[in-house]
Chain A
């Protein structure tokens, strides 16, 4: 069982888009996948038309394994299950706090359903900086979308520093450029610079800015399911392969 977190210390960068499409592509390859929507906004649940679970109460949710597994829903796609967002469960910090700062707890809770899954993909909410250490420890890979702008460059460096300071394994960080626009000079320059500076952190694949990704909101489905032949879909396929290989 491999845990992949889609994470960024910056909002709106494409975490959810990556989590949804990586999960879909892995499942399509025949892996058994659980996508956990840890964002109370429920963005990834929305993309799979899964309604937030009513039964779950925040307090006991993540401490009670049965509640956790009972909440899982089958998606419309073979091999892909969803742990829907829970509206009662306000923030991810609470969950991680309940894990009592023990890095093994999350893994253990996930392992209790682990017989069923080859990959667990976590769609992390924005702004979890204080307790993100737990996510980093629990995951085998942390997929970090980076929009190639100067601002992103700064935040990405903060993330790498955080790993250094906390003696976390930096090689878990699998960064990639997200929403890249070839026509923008700034994007090209930033990408070249960052690839040089963080050569080991960046994956080869780049996810281009694409209206297909935006259309996910209309179709309420992963890109590959309605626009399999387009650029974005094939970029996500490549991304999921690279991630699966390195995780």
Chain B
């Protein structure tokens, strides 16, 4: 036979499977062991948010190998390398595939460990000729659930026999799962982090109920990211942490009347001060992630200046991280988070506002429709000459509209909200880029001010480079600005507005 890595058909099964297979008769053929059971240590590798598992794949590392298992394709293999950012790992068939599914900002981590045993079985005919093979990989993680996968290794010219073998395995009645299921089983419960938890809700739950449910889930997301921020695994932990707090604050400010004014203000202050602690580190992260992009924006002669600037930013980042880690580890922070968690776990002590008892669906429709009308109104007034402030205003309203739709998505058709969010996204990307360029220019200008205080030789070099960079960024911002009117026109189509009306203003034919 030609040596081929067979296709894996995973089976989420008891590890007794191997025993059921050995000696089994399949027509005239039999299944027998081939070689010894091979036992070794394994780790399951994935990002914190399980991007590999979400793609229905599993990355398994053993002493010498990295093996990427995907459904219905041959297994990819390369030499072992410690998990890291995919770009930092050696090139090979595995990292090539990972590059397509794992966010480059995410670092890969060990998500489960244990032992795996592999038993090769061959199916032999009446002449003792091998006609098919399979290898049973039985994974026993230290925590998590044991699972096994069967790797079917077809032999050229024996397709029928291979089909008989797979049919036989299926007939054993063991539950079959996807590769993603196997990965989830191995990780065990509590390792299923997602930055976007789905919050169940029904149309007639109260708006208060929905608001506190969402906030409780967001606090959980924030807390899940704390260890990763402290350990400084990758920048996505802090990013997700901040998004969770931002969503929380959006619920508080956008769900008007659900809490009393006092209560609302108190929450705004509390979550606002938590958020404020993270701003400096996040800003530095964002700049540092842009290092390469910035370098490419200026001519080679000015690149050393940019490099020096980034070296100094990297030093600042170190200090900012240490400060935030200290804060996260501190008693005050832990007490505050604990209190907030408890408060939203049993929200009896949260004071309800006038809209608290309104049914979620009616409440959602009113909020979303109002915001949509507002977006259209502001956008309608924007032309190529309008002041930038108006564009920023439009961006903020679009963002709020997006959050509202996302919060209440479970109440509306999945397909409808998806299409609406997609049409909104193109506009938002445009507005977002416009804003980013403007924020970047401001940040660089801020750095310039700080440099002037120094006045060293480096400072002059850096300042020259910053000057060049700001010019380019301004240029780019202008380009984005020029697209805004067209972006909105595209968003403001008959179709989109009909969709909005159907979901959020039903029963009325005209706005």
**Chain A residues engaging chain B, CB cutoff 8 angstroms:** 32, 48-51, 70-81, 116, 220
Q: Is the CB of A81 within 8 A of B129?
A: no
A70 and B157 contact, Cβ closer than 8 Å, known pairs A32-B2, A81-B2: yes
Nearest-neighbour CB distance to chain A for B127, whole angstroms, equals: 4
Closest CB of chain B to A84's CB: distance in Å?
9
* Chain B 118-138: CB-based contact to A (< 8 A → 1; otherwise 0): 000010010111100000000
Tell whether, in the assembled complex, residue A80 and residue B1 are in contact, meaning their CB atoms are under 8 Å apart: yes
Q: Which of the residues B125, B128, B130, B157 comes within 8 Å of A72, measured between beta carbons?
A: B157
B277 within 8 A of A: no
* Interface contact B128-A74, CB-CB below 8 Å: no
Task: Report the Cα distance A200→B359, complex, angstroms.
Answer: 98
Residues of B within 8 A of A80 (CB): 1
A71, B129: Cβ atoms closer than 8 Å: no
Residue of B nearest to A83 (CB): B157
How far apart sit A81 and B130, CA to CA, in the bound complex (Å)? 12
B438, chain A: closest CB distance, angstroms? 56
Question: Contacts A72-B157, A74-B156, A74-B157 known; A81 to B127 CB distance under 8 Å?
Answer: no
B2 touches A76 (CB 8 A): no
- Check if B129 sits within 8 Å of A49, measured CB to CB: yes
- Asked if B158 CB lies within 8 Å of chain A CBs, one says yes
Shortest Cβ-Cβ A-B pairs, 7 listed: A74-B1, A74-B155, A73-B157, A49-B129, A74-B156, A49-B127, A76-B130
Chain B residue numbers with a CB within 8 Å of A70 are 157
User: Which residues of chain B have C-beta atoms less than 8 A from A116's C-beta?
Assistant: 2
Chain A residues with Cβ below 8 Å from B511 are none
Contacts of A81 in B (CB 8 A): 1-2, 156-157
CA distance in complex: A79, B2 (Å): 4
Q: Pick from B2, B3, B127, B155: contact of A220, CB below 8 A.
A: B127
A49 to B127: give the CA distance in the assembly, Å.
6
Tell me whether B2 and A71 are in contact (CB under 8 A): no
- For the complex, give the distance between the alpha carbons of A116 and B3 in Å: 11
- Say which residue of B3, B122, B129, B157 sits within 8 Å of A79 (CB atoms): B3
Give chain B residues whose Cβ lies under 8 Å from the Cβ of A71: 157
Contact A49 B128 (CB under 8 A): yes
> Is B3 within 8 A of A78, CB to CB?
yes
Q: Whole-angstrom distance between the alpha carbons of A51 and B125 in the complex? A: 10
Taking CB atoms and an 8 Å cut-off, the chain B residues in 454-482 that contact chain A are none
Asked if A74 meets B158 with Cβ closer than 8 Å, knowing A32-B2, A80-B1, A81-B2, the reply is: yes
Instruction: Kindly identify, within residues 90 to 135 of chain B, every residue whose CB is under 8 Å from any CB belonging to chain A.
Output: 122, 125, 127-130
Residues of A within 8 A of B2 (CB): 32, 74, 78-79, 81, 116
Q: Min CB distance, A62 to chain B, in Å? A: 17
Question: Which of the residues A49, A78, A220 comes within 8 Å of B1, measured between beta carbons?
Answer: A78
Closest chain A CB from B27 CB (angstroms): 14
Q: Is the interface of B mostly helix, strand, loop or mixed?
A: loop
How far is it, in angstroms, between the C-alpha of A116 and the C-alpha of B4 when the chains are bound? 11
Query: When chains A and B are docked, how far (Å) is the Cα of A73 from the Cα of B154?
Result: 11
B34 to chain A minimum Cβ distance, whole angstroms, is: 9
Q: How far is the CA of A50 from the CA of B129 in the complex (A)?
A: 7
For the A-B complex with A72-B157, A74-B1 known, give 9 more contacts whose Cβ atoms are closer than 8 Å.
Answer: A73-B155, A73-B156, A73-B157, A74-B130, A75-B1, A78-B2, A81-B1, A81-B2, A116-B2
What are the residues of chain A within 8 A of B130 when measuring CB–CB?
A: 74, 76
Q: CA A73 – CA B129 in complex, angstroms?
A: 11
Chain A nearest CB: distance from B255 CB in Å? Answer: 63
Partner of B127, one of A32, A51, A74, A77: A51
A136 to B158, CA, bound (A): 32
Chain A residues with CB below 8 A from B158, complex form: 73-74
Could you list some 10 contacts between A and B, CB below 8 A? A32-B2, A48-B129, A49-B129, A71-B157, A72-B157, A74-B130, A74-B157, A76-B129, A78-B3, A220-B128
Bound form: Cα–Cα A71–B159 in Å: 12
B159 to chain A, nearest CB (A): 10
**Nearest A residue to B129, CB-CB:** A49
Chain B positions within 8 Å of A48 at CB level:
129
Nearest chain A CB to B30 CB, angstrom units: 14
Most buried by A among B2, B128, B156: B2
Specify which chain A residues have a CB less than 8 angstroms from the CB of B1 in the assembled complex: 74-81
Distance (whole angstroms) from the CB of A1 to the closest CB of chain B: 14
Flag if B156 contacts A72 (CB, 8 Å).
yes
Name the CB-closest residue of A to B155: A74
Nearest-Cβ distance from residue B1 to partner chain A, whole angstroms:
3
Report Cα–Cα, A62/B117, bound state, in Å.
Answer: 45
Using CB atoms, name the residue of chain A closest to B156: A74
A47 → B minimal CB distance (Å): 11
A72 to B158, CA, bound (A): 9
Q: Nearest CB to that of A32 among chain B residues?
A: B2
Q: B157 — which chain A residues lie within 8 A by C-beta? A: 70-74, 81
The docked-state distance in angstroms from the alpha carbon of A135 to that of B129 is 30
Q: Which residues of B contact A49 (CB under 8 A)?
A: 125, 127-129
A81's nearest neighbour on chain B, judged by CB, is: B156
A129 CB to closest chain B CB (Å) equals 32
Bound CA–CA A187/B180 (angstroms): 67
Report chain A residues within 8 Å CB of B127: 49, 51, 220
Measured CB to CB, the closest approach of chain A to B453, in angstroms, equals: 67
* Chain B 1-45 interface mask (CB, 8 Å, partner A; 1/0): 111000000000000000000000000000000000000000000
Which A residue's beta carbon lies closest to that of B157?
Answer: A73
Complex Cα distance, B2 from A72, in Å, reads 11
Chain A hits for B155, CB < 8 A: 73-74
Please give me the residue from chain A that is nearest to B1 by CB atom.
A74
Q: Which residues of B contact A220 (CB under 8 A)?
A: 127-128
What is the minimal beta-carbon distance from B377 to any residue of chain A, in angstroms?
64
User: How far does the alpha carbon of A223 sit from the alpha carbon of B130 in the complex, in Å?
Assistant: 18
User: Chain A nearest CB: distance from B237 CB in Å?
Assistant: 45
Chain B neighbourhood of A32, CB < 8 A: 2
Whole-angstrom distance between the alpha carbons of A220 and B128 in the complex? 10
Tell me the B148-167 residues at the A interface (CB within 8 Å): 155-158
Closest to B132 in A: A74
Min CB distance A27 to B, Å, is 10
In the complex the two chains form, what is the Cα distance from A79 to B1 in whole Å?
A: 5
A163 to chain B, nearest CB (A): 34
State how many angstroms separate the Cβ of A220 from the closest Cβ of chain B.
7
Q: Which residues of A contact B128 (CB under 8 A)?
A: 49, 220
In the assembled complex, how far is the CB of residue B319 from the closest CB belonging to chain A, in whole angstroms?
A: 55
How many angstroms from the CA of A226 to the CA of B83 in the assembled complex? 43
